[in-house]
Amino acid sequence: MSFGFQLYLLICVFLTGICIGSFLNVVIYRLPAGLSVIKPRSRCWSCRTMVKWYDNIPLFSWLNLRGKCRSCQTPISIRYFFVELLVGLLFVAAFISFGPSLGFLVAILLIPAYVATAYIDLDTWTIRIEILLWIAVCGLGAASISALVDQDLGLVYGASVLNGKWIPLIHALLGGLLGFVLLNSVRVLATWYFKKRGRLGDDEEAMGLGDPLLLGVLGMVNGVAAIPLLIFLAALQGSIIGILWTLIGPTIRTRFERAESTEIEDDWVPPERALPFGPYLALAGLELLLWGQEVLTLLPNFKLI
């Protein structure tokens, strides 16, 4: 491929990414609120004016409007711009990692699911079952296709060592099982411990069921050998970001929160300094998806299989 053509493809991939990112903003906002992600068209949450198509162009419109609604001047969170840019850049990263291949196709189906999981969990402390099912179908689907066409898609770690047609699918199924069972055991033990110490109420849990299920579906994408690495990456980055967040978070937090968060009715209030684990699991999944081989080079002790 000539350099010019590669550049052209990268620009196409980036533009596709920012459009998907724009749709993802709608999903992140509407899915937890129980609204349709397709209809109706977007309105300004403050003055209810329908957003015109030319004010809905990814990246461009937010800059053009200088982050304010055209009719009522209510600020539009920079987060909408950021999610569009993020998905655009992640699509480009996927294209650089996988090239034009089946692996790339799976990656661009998974990237939006990971980004949406992280943001919805940050907003509402819930992990959506619809998105978990999407990730599971992508993971098991990719492993099955990999077996059928007898080609390593670069997703399931360790499977290529053991030659066998259905080995990637077996790794994916075992990954789903181990991921869920492992983190669910932590959930049950932690809940039992904190209840015994009187730090949790009778109907409270130390961790939601969403986190074990998320690790399970990530295990389906990357295989059973990736589970220790996923936990390590999520815990490490969760600790670092968690510490930074408690130090500098309160000063910058309002800038990244969406303005409409009041629309979701929920009387449950998370602890003041607590952070959900889901976003870090999703981050670890994203890193392993896009830069799996590089991560394994950096952390050679995790080359278990």
Task: Provide the binding-site residues for Zn ion, judged by CB under 5 A.
Answer: 44, 46-47, 69, 71-72, 74
In the chain, the largest separation of any two C-alpha atoms, in whole Å, equals 66
* Nearest alpha-carbon partner for 154 in 112, 78, 101, 218: 101
Q: Which is nearer to Zn ion, 72 or 236 (CB)?
A: 72
Closest CB 259 distance from Zn ion, rounded Å: 11
- CA-CA distance, 7 to 292, in Å (whole number)? 24
Which residue in this structure is represented by tokens 């968060």?
Answer: 261
Q: Are 282 and 117 in contact (CB under 8 A)?
A: yes
Closest CB 59 distance from Zn ion, rounded Å: 20
Q: Which is nearer to Zn ion, 47 or 248 (CB)?
A: 47
The alpha helices in the chain, defined as continuous H runs, are: 3-30, 60-64, 78-98, 102-124, 129-148, 167-196, 210-222, 227-256, 278-298
Q: Which is nearer to Zn ion, 35 or 72 (CB)?
A: 72
User: By CB neighbour count within 10 A (0-12 exposed, 13-18 middle, 19+ buried), where does 177 fall?
Assistant: middle
Closest CB 120 distance from Zn ion, rounded Å: 24
What is the end-to-end Cα distance of the chain in Å, rounded? Answer: 35
The tokens for 255 are 């800038």
Q: Which is nearer to Zn ion, 48 or 197 (CB)?
A: 48
Closest CB 46 distance from Zn ion, rounded Å: 5
Q: Which is nearer to Zn ion, 75 or 99 (CB)?
A: 75
Closest CB 79 distance from Zn ion, rounded Å: 17
Q: Which is nearer to Zn ion, 48 or 255 (CB)?
A: 48
The tokens for 227 are 């589970």
Closest CB 73 distance from Zn ion, rounded Å: 7
